[in-house]
Every structure is written in C-alpha cells, then in structure tokens.
Amino acid sequence: MTKKTRTVHDTMGELEVPIDALWGAQTQRSLQNFPIGSERMPAELIRALLEIKWATALSHAAMGRMESNKATTIAKVCRDLIASVKAGDLTHFPLVVWQTGSGTQTNMNVNEVVAECSNRLCPDLVFHPNDDINMGQSSNDVFPAAMHIAAKRILVERVLPAVDELIAGFDDLATRCRGQIKIGRTHMQDAVPIGVDQEISGWNGLLRQAREMLIEAAKNLTDLPLGGTAVGTGLNAWEGFDEIVATQLSEITALSFSAASNKFAELSGKQQLAAAHASLKMLANGLFKIVNDVRLLGSGPRCGLGELILPANEPGSSIMPGKVNPTQCEAVSMLCVQVMGNDVAISLGAASGVFELNTYMPMMIYNFLQSAHLLADGCASFQTRCVAGISINQQQLQRNVDHALMLVTRLAPVIGYENCARIVKDANNTDLSLKEAAIASGLIDAEHYDDLMQLQDMLTPEPSARNSEP
C-alpha cells in the first residue's frame, strides 16, 4: 500500500503531513489549530515573503554568512515558487488569515516550503527552514516588510492605473458634453446653472485628489524593518544587512525600498499601512459620491431626473419587463462601503500594537489587499461598462433650465435679494415662468431680462472692473 503521508518534525515533536505537501510541521500544526474561516493568506503576501527569502539569501551570501551555492539554490526556488503563485497556484500555502497575529505561521509556511524545495533541488546540501531560509530574520520584521511590499505593489500596479483610466474616461465624457448647460443642485434642490463638463470636472477633481494621496501613500511604504529581527534591536542580524537586503528587494521587485530608520516603530505600529489604506478609503469616499450622483442623474426614464442616459447592460427586474437598473453604480457603491468598513478594522488593528509588536497584521494586510482589488476592479468596470457609454438627455436638460426659478439669482445684483425672493414666490404661486413673474413685478423689462439671462455668462465669475479697463 502506497504511503499517503510523510513524517516531519519541529521542536514539539513529529507529525504526519500529506505525501505531496511541501510544507512542514509548523504549517501542519497551524492547519490543525486554526480551522477558522475560509479567508486564505493572499497570493500577493506570499509572493512578497518569497521575494524576501530570495533577497535575504543573496544578501547573506554577499556578506559571507551563507555559502553562495546555497544562496543561488534558494534564489532559484523562490523564483520558481513566485512564478507558480503568480499563476494562481497556492497549493503549498494553505494557511488562513485567522492565525497568530504576527503572521509567524505563514512565515514558517514559506520557510518550510522553500527549504523542502531546496533540499529536493540540491540533495547534497542541507537547507533548514529556520537556520537557512529564516537566517537573520524574525517573523516580526519579515511579515511587516512583506505587508509593505505587497501593499506598495498593488497600489502602483493595479489601483493607480485603474484610477487613471477612470479619470481619462471622465475627461472624455466632459469633452463630449462641453457647451451643454444644466441646472445645478444643492441640498437636492434646484440651484443655479452649471456646465455639464463643470459638474464632471468636480467628479474628476475628487479622483485626482485621491490619486495624489495614493501616490504619496505608496512612497511612504518604502521603508522596511528587515534587520530589526524580534523586537527591533537587530539581534542575530549583521550590521548593514538592512540596507543590503533593501537594495536587493528593490532590484527583485522593481520597486524602491530602503531600510527603516526606526525599526521599533515599524514593528510595534502600523502607521504607514493604515495611512495608505486611508488613501484607499478617500478614493472610496469620492467614488461613492460620484456613482450616486450618476445613478440619480440617470434615474427614470420617465419619472426621474433623466438627465443622463446610462448604458443598458442587462435586464433589471425579474418581474417588471423592460426595466433597466444602474447596476454598475450599485456594485461600485457596495464595494466602497466595504472599503470604508475595512478601514475601520485596519485603524483598530494599527492602534492595537502592544509593547514591541503589533499582532493584528494578517487581518490588516488581508483587508488592505481586498480593498485595493475591489477599487481597482470597480474603477475599471465602472469606466468600461458605464462611463464610456453615458450620453446626455439634452431635451431634459433644456426642460429643467426653462423651468428653473433659481435663475433669479442673476437678477439679485440689479433688483435686490428681497425683490427676487418675491418674484420666485409669485412664480410658484401663480404657475408663471420666472420671466413672466419678473416682468409682471414691474422691476425689470423683457429686454433687460433677456440680456441678463445669458446662461453661458452664469458659468464663470463676473469680470472685475479692473479687468474691463482699457
């Protein structure tokens, strides 16, 4: 009978693992001790840990602490495992998020897998998970470093490009709408005119503000606490290792990293990650406002605002034939709420470090990466399946402008605020148009009224007397 397990050991004794598993005893114990939830450690985090093992091996070889043949073997194994993880294969990294708050078991999972693969690749050498793969490291400095690497990469490679795509989409929509004028709204009530492109520029302004915050957040994830080991003092790490490994990681990841100047702060607090997620939350806040504006402006088609015509992507109702709903807006609004919830969890986690270590790290990076994926996917989907297909209901815009009473604001400098208020009240009570009520007041004649009511002139400030001087 073929044996289905192999025997492994750690400092607590022997136990069996599946014969085809590459992990060792500590990973198996974690599987047994934490049957909690279905949330697995994210691939981005595993990749970052493998990159750290690769970089530390090369760094130790460069410093004379590890034989070069061992270092090159570890580097090759890490490269191969990274390729597998990038392809979606997490077979050998099975641990859940809900484990030790330092991420020690996932760090050991990676150490064990790299050691086993290295031993199989070079059986003449001996690779130990702790002595070789984890040399000069502690989970306490490795895991937060991996968090920064994974977080920075997803901001740079996924979130920012998706935001740029959405900004470009709104820029295109604004160009298509240039010259079209609508009634603005404040407090959800009629206000004064605004250009459709001006309204869209407000949406894009929110996205651009979030974009700048995200760029700054990515820069602030540059510092790594590697070399701090268990409590930040650097016990069992060599002097200068922190700078060498940061340089190696910069080359391996094609991202910029440096050694943290205060490793005690990086181990015990998670300020930079929390701040970076706050930038994701600000993107979610702006996006939430935008999609809700879009779906309200597209409400109808007969009995709503109906100023925007949204793409009809799919049937909207299982009972009402022909109904089409703003589903892209709804999906994005939901994911924005999820990101806001994740921010609360991350903020609490970041504030909960005790003495020399924060023990909420797996939860924090899981939520961070989920938020980043949701926002990147949401921006891309909203642009492709909604913004790109929006058109303007020009007839509805004109109808609203024709019926708007707040155009009276234009008359206030000429006939006074209180007189204007009486004209609006009379127009409402007698069902007159604003022009009819204004002329009936005797305060302005038709010619003067028409001269003042040039909509295009209402979209910018009045020229100053200084600017009008010859």
Mapping DSSP to helix (H, G, I), strand (E, B) and coil, where does residue 313 land? coil
Alpha-helical (H) ranges within 238-313 are 241-253, 263-268, 271-297
Q: How many residues does the chain have?
A: 470
The string of DSSP codes covering 88-119 is: T--TT---BSSS-TT-HHHHHHHHHHHHHHHH
Q: Which structure tokens are listed for 310? A: 């949204």
> Which residues are registered as beta bridge partners of 40?
96
Question: Is 187 among the residues known to form the active site?
Answer: yes
Q: Which structure tokens are listed for 359? A: 């023990």
Cα three-residue angle 70-27-238, rounded to 5 degrees = 40
Q: Which one from 187, 261, 318, 464 is the annotated catalytic residue?
A: 187
Mapping DSSP to helix (H, G, I), strand (E, B) and coil, where does residue 258 land? strand
Q: Which one from 9, 68, 317, 403 is the annotated catalytic residue?
A: 317
Residue 228 CA to residue 148 CA, distance in Å, equals 15
User: Which amino acid is located at 250 in the chain?
Assistant: S
Q: Could you tell me which of 25, 75, 31, 29 has the C-alpha nearest to residue 50?
A: 75
Question: Is 148 among the residues known to form the active site?
Answer: no
Q: Which structure tokens are listed for 193? A: 């005119």
Are 286 and 378 in contact by the 8 Å Cβ rule? The answer is no
Q: Which structure tokens are listed for 433? A: 């148009």
Residue 46 CA to residue 108 CA, distance in Å, equals 11
Q: Could you tell me which of 346, 464, 53 has the C-alpha nearest to residue 61?
A: 53
Alpha-helical (H) ranges within 17-157 are 25-33, 43-62, 68-86, 104-121, 139-154
The string of DSSP codes covering 286-306 is: HHHHHHHHHHHHT--SSSS--
Task: Tell me how far the alpha carbon of residue 425 is from its chain's centroid.
Answer: 48
Buried b / exposed e along 74-85 (16+ C-beta atoms within 10 A) = bbbbbeebbebb
Residue 13: its H or E element: strand 13-18
Q: Is 460 exposed, middle or buried (0-12, 13-18, 19+ CB in 10 A)?
A: exposed
Q: Which residues are catalytic?
A: 187, 317
